[in-house]
Amino acid sequence: MILPVEAWMDIRRYAPLRAAGASWKDIAAQAGCDWRTAKKYLSPDAPTAPPRASSRAGTVPRLVDPFTDVIDAWLADDPRLLATVIHERLVADYGFTGHYQRIKVYCAEARRRVELESDAQGRPPGLHRRFEVVAGAQAQVDWGDEGALLAGGSAGGQGRKVYSFHMTLSYSRDPFICFTTSQDLATFFDCHRRAFDHFGGVPATIVYDRTKTVVRRHVAPGRAVPLHPQAAAFAEHYGFAIDVLAAYRPTGKGRVERQVQIGRDHVLSGRRFSSLAELDAAFAAWVPIRRGQVHRTHGEVIGVRALRDHAALKPLPQFGYAVTETHLRRVGRDALISFAGSSYSVAARAADGRPTKAGQRVEVRVGVEHLEIWGCPSTAPTGPRCSWRGTRSRPSAGR
């Protein structure tokens, strides 16, 4: 039986009594133990540390031992594999009967060993290196889905889904957020213009996901990503480069993804809004608070670092660039076209006097707050391009 630490400390208190000539029997009577125990822990060659039981590590086989090679192979292939997934697969495919906690403890040990082995062999261990950029070099963009956020009081706003557009300057983490009810092409780049006005300039590069408003189509890994023509034209006008993340790179724009949650917690949580203007005003009121905080990564006040970031941005061009989304529609017999659940009228005749025909294809150009209809009679495809401004009619039947 191992002597408890408290009992050992109590016996050690009688060392001066032994030095004064007391017998082992007298010390044992005072300490309430056997004289042999008193002699063992008070003799000149007695250890100065409390007694400890010898380690049983390795003496009792563990339930996980027969499966360690399998787990090590899985972790070497993917170090981010969750212990819950490993336990689930061992139970289903290998007949493991132990508890999840046994797998969790082993995985914590194995991950460190696998990472060290990977470093020694020159293989990437599955970790990522935090990157930093110079002032004005980069911004990151993302959307947030805020759900049916608007309460009653906004015209036509109740029940409509609200989205938050986020742009973060990577050097300072200075944020911009605005709120919309659409994620279409025109709205997406209109939010960019608002962000540039907010920062007072344009970053050299903007990082995006492979969203359809930026990428024309998806391609295989390693191939050049074809950009949406409107995105490329917008970037050319404002003078920034488009950086599209490679597939399966969740850490590529972590700064803005973190901002989505921060904005949701500090701007939206616990509040009710009746319009998009109220949402934008709530962000504007929060900006000074955010800029007065010390960022935990770069260790500086965000507003102070943002001054250097803003000063390094490219100047805004003299004129803005309005992105429009184009669609083809057929003119009906009633001189109406259908778009987004509503009907729009076109002129019976074009500006040059030529009639508009039923079945004629026209091009619909959709901006943030306007819609234009462009087209020419099919009998004169090489003639001058004519246009009609769309006039909204009542929604089509059944829409």
Alpha carbon separation from 8 to 23, 51, 55, 343 (Å, rounded): 18, 8, 20, 92
Convert the pLDDT of each residue in 318-359 to its tens digit. Answer: 988 887 777 788 887 777 877 777 778 777 666 556 677 777
Nearest-5° angle of CA 276, CA 282, CA 288?
A: 140
Task: Tell me the whole-structure pTM to 2 decimals.
Answer: 0.60
pLDDT tens-digit map of 108-139: 888 888 777 766 555 555 555 667 889 999 99
Task: Kindly report which listed range (74-88, 198-212, 272-286) carries the lowest average pLDDT score.
Answer: 74-88
Average pLDDT for residues 140-152, to the nearest whole number? 85
Query: Exposed, middle or buried: residue 259 (CB in 10 Å: 0-12, 13-18, 19+)?
Result: buried
CB 358 within 8 A of CB 387: no
What does the angle CA 270 – CA 273 – CA 277 come to, to the nearest 5 degrees? 130
Question: Does 155 have pLDDT greater than 50?
Answer: no
Region of residue 54 (left: phi > 0; alpha: psi -120 to 50; beta: else): beta
Q: Assign domain 138-311 to a CATH class.
A: alpha beta
For the chain, domain boundaries: 5-42, 65-120, 138-311, 325-392
Pairing of β 371-375 and β 361-366: antiparallel
Summary mean pLDDT of the chain: 81
Sign of CA dihedral 309, 311, 312, 314: positive
Count Cβ atoms within 10 A of the Cβ of residue 148 and give its class: 0-12 exposed, 13-18 middle, 19 or more buried: exposed
State which amino acid sits at residue 34. D
> What's the pLDDT score for residue 3?
79
**125 phi and psi, to 5 degrees?**
-85, 10
Task: Report the pLDDT value the prediction gives residue 119, as an integer from 0 to 100.
Answer: 60
